[in-house]
Amino acid sequence: MSTVLDFEKPIVEIQKKIDELKKMSEASGMDLDSQIENFERQAQDYKKELYSKLKPSQKLQIARHPERPKFLDYVELICDDFIELHGDREGMDDRAIIGGLAKIDGKPVMIIGIQKGKTTKENLEYNFGMPQPQGYRKALRLFKHANKFNLPIVTLIDTPGAYPGIKAEETGQGSAIAVNLMEMSKLNVPIVAIITGEGCSGGALGLAVADRVMMLEHAYYTVISPEGCASILWRDASKYADAAEALKITSKDLLELGIIDEEIPEPLGGAHTDYSAVSENIKSSVVKALKELAQYEPEELRNKRYEKFRAMGRFVE
């Protein structure tokens, strides 16, 4: 682990001690097994306690962890035979949204996701996971392809938001997202959406009008970034931790509010500590959801999807 988050430091300290003891034991031939075991248990207990009580602002750090698995990591670990399909057919292939045909558990699907990089070079290529209108239009083209050939759709979402830029505005960032929201509601095939990291605002929702919406345990999903919210409502971006609290951005909160259907567990310490474990968890949730959704006729599926979003909101009458 090369990036250590501030709240992870005590764990790293205990781990260091364990490593020292192991070295000592090897060098001197002393039997320190019981001490090592003791420290290991302590580390494990501390970790369990820590990760079960993370504050929203701490989850934010995990969701944004530079080593957190990205869309293409998940594709590699979850899918077989991924065939990427490029471009919006109007002059651009937005690299922030990647999609294509793949098999999950032997069954073909259309998988589409928002891609971030791990290095600066990669991040420039993927625009830090901030799609342009052309990315949403590429996704729409792939949605329609899936609809035509009766392929279920799986989307993986990890974005700080749709890109705020000149060309993005000139080419209709708002309407590109709006059209996706509307068109997703009309699709005849099952749609499963998973917020894997950052689920920020309309940029995330543009791929998330789904029959099943799931979230990784430490992902967040919100109408505005906590920093953006703090700078507007608190007039101070440094109050982001308060905003993160108030916005109810965690999987637990959103499950309670009925915004998401399922929380997918992450390995202890976060998804970045064990790519295969978290991918396994995602895969089994997706496979299960697709199996359940396969029983519905297209019209039933569309009606249920409509009713699901129709019921969202809190008001009094």
Q: What is the rounded CA–CA span in Å between residue 221 and residue 215?
A: 8
**Which 76-105 residues touch another protein, going by CB under 8 A?**
none
61 binds another protein (CB under 8 A): no
Q: Does residue 215 interact with another protein by CB under 8 A?
A: no
Measure the CA–CA gap between 197 and 67, rounded to whole angstroms. 11
Window 254-273: contact mask with another protein (x via CB under 8 A): x--x-x--------------
66 vs 258 by CB, closer to another protein: 258
Work out whether 146 is an interface residue with another protein (CB under 8 A): no
Q: Is 317 in the site for another protein (CB under 8 A)?
A: yes
Residues with Cβ within 8 Å of residue 113, at least 6 apart in sequence: 71, 72, 74, 75, 97, 98, 99, 155, 156, 157, 158, 196, 207
Q: Is 198 helix (H, G, I), strand (E, B) or coil?
A: strand
Residue 165 binds another protein, judged by CB under 8 A? yes
Cβ burial, residue 246 (10 Å; 0-12/13-18/19+)? middle
In the complex, what is the shortest distance from the CB of residue 143 to another protein, in angstroms, rounded to a whole number?
Answer: 13
Among 162, 194, 286, 293, binds another protein (CB under 8 A): 162
Whole-number Å distance between alpha carbons of 210 and 235: 35
Biggest CA-to-CA distance, the chain: 76
Binding mask of the shown chain, residues 181 to 210, with x at each position contacting another protein by CB under 8 A: xxx-xx--------------xx--xx-xx-
CA 206 vs CA 8, 136, 238: distances in Å: 33, 7, 28
Interface residues toward another protein, by CB under 8 A: 162-166, 168-175, 177-179, 181-183, 185-186, 201-202, 205-206, 208-209, 221-224, 228-229, 231-237, 242-243, 246-249, 254, 257, 259, 305-306, 309-310, 312-317
